[in-house]
Amino acid sequence: MKTGKVECSRGWQYTATNLLGAKRESMCKNVLLQRSILGRSNTHCLKVPPPPFTYGIKSVKTSGVSDALHWVDDTAIRQKSNEHIYLTRDFVALNCDSVRQGVTTSKEMTHFRALHDRLRSKQAKRRSRTESPKLHLDVTHGVPNKASTPIQEILSNKYQKDWIDAQMKKSDKVEAKLLGLKSMSRRVNHPDTDAMVRRNCMKKNKEESFWKLKRFEQNAVGRINTFRNEEYRKLAFEKDKSSKISRIGLHGHGIQRTGESA
* Res 1: pLDDT: 45
* Res 261: pLDDT: 52
Q: Residue 120 pairs with which residues in a beta bridge? A: 88
* Res 214: pLDDT: 73
170-174, 207-211, 226-230, range with the lowest pLDDT: 207-211
42-46, 69-73, 199-203, range with the lowest pLDDT: 69-73
Per the model's pLDDT, the better-predicted residue between 176 and 1 turns out to be 176
In sequence order, what are the residues at sequence separation of 6 or more whose Cβ sits closer than 8 angstroms to the Cβ of residue 59? Answer: none
Q: Quick check: 204 pLDDT over 60?
A: yes
| Mean of the per-residue pLDDT values of the chain | 76
Q: Quick check: 144 pLDDT over 60?
A: yes
In sequence order, what are the residues at sequence separation of 6 or more whose Cβ sits closer than 8 angstroms to the Cβ of residue 37? Answer: 10, 14
Per-residue pLDDT tens over the stretch 48-72: 777 777 777 766 666 677 666 766 6
* Res 84: pLDDT: 59
Q: What is the pTM of this model?
A: 0.21
Per the model's pLDDT, the better-predicted residue between 110 and 260 turns out to be 110
* Res 169: pLDDT: 92
Phi, psi of 250 (to 5 degrees): -70, -40
* Res 166: pLDDT: 92
**Model confidence band, residue 189 (pLDDT cutoffs 50, 70, 90):** low
According to DSSP, the β-strands at 85-89 and 119-123 are: antiparallel
Per-residue pLDDT tens over the stretch 157-173: 888 888 989 999 999 99
**Model confidence band, residue 187 (pLDDT cutoffs 50, 70, 90):** low
Do residues 121 and 85 lie in contact, with contact meaning Cβ atoms separated by under 8 Å? yes
Domain ranges across the chain: 1-48, 91-120, 218-261
Q: What percent of the chain has pLDDT over 70?
A: 69
Please, what is the Cα angle at 198 between 196 and 202, to 5 degrees? 120
* Res 247: pLDDT: 83
Per-residue pLDDT tens over the stretch 74-130: 555 555 555 556 778 888 888 888 888 888 888 898 889 888 888 887 755 555 556
Average pLDDT over residues 13-31: 82
Q: What is the 3-state secondary structure (H, E, C) of the chain?
A: CCCCCCCCCCCHHHECCCCCCCCCHHHHHCHHHECCCCCCCCCCCCCCCCCCCCCCCCCCCCCCHHHHCCCCCCHHHHHHHCCCEEEEECHHHHHHHHHHHCCCCHHHHHHHHHHCCCEEEEECCCCCCCCCCCCCCCCECCECCCCCCCHHHHHCCHHHHHHHHHHHHHHHHHHHHHHHHHHHHHCCCCCCCHHHHHHHHCCCCCCCCCCCCHHHHCCCCCCCCCCCCHHHHHHHHHHHHHHHHHECCCCCCCCECCCCCC
* Res 131: pLDDT: 61
In sequence order, what are the residues at sequence separation of 6 or more whose Cβ sits closer than 8 angstroms to the Cβ of residue 120? Answer: 87, 88, 89, 90, 93
**Model confidence band, residue 231 (pLDDT cutoffs 50, 70, 90):** very high
Q: What percent of the chain has pLDDT over 90?
A: 3
Query: Measured between alpha carbons, how far is 262 from 256 in angstroms, rounded to an integer?
Result: 9
* Res 118: pLDDT: 84
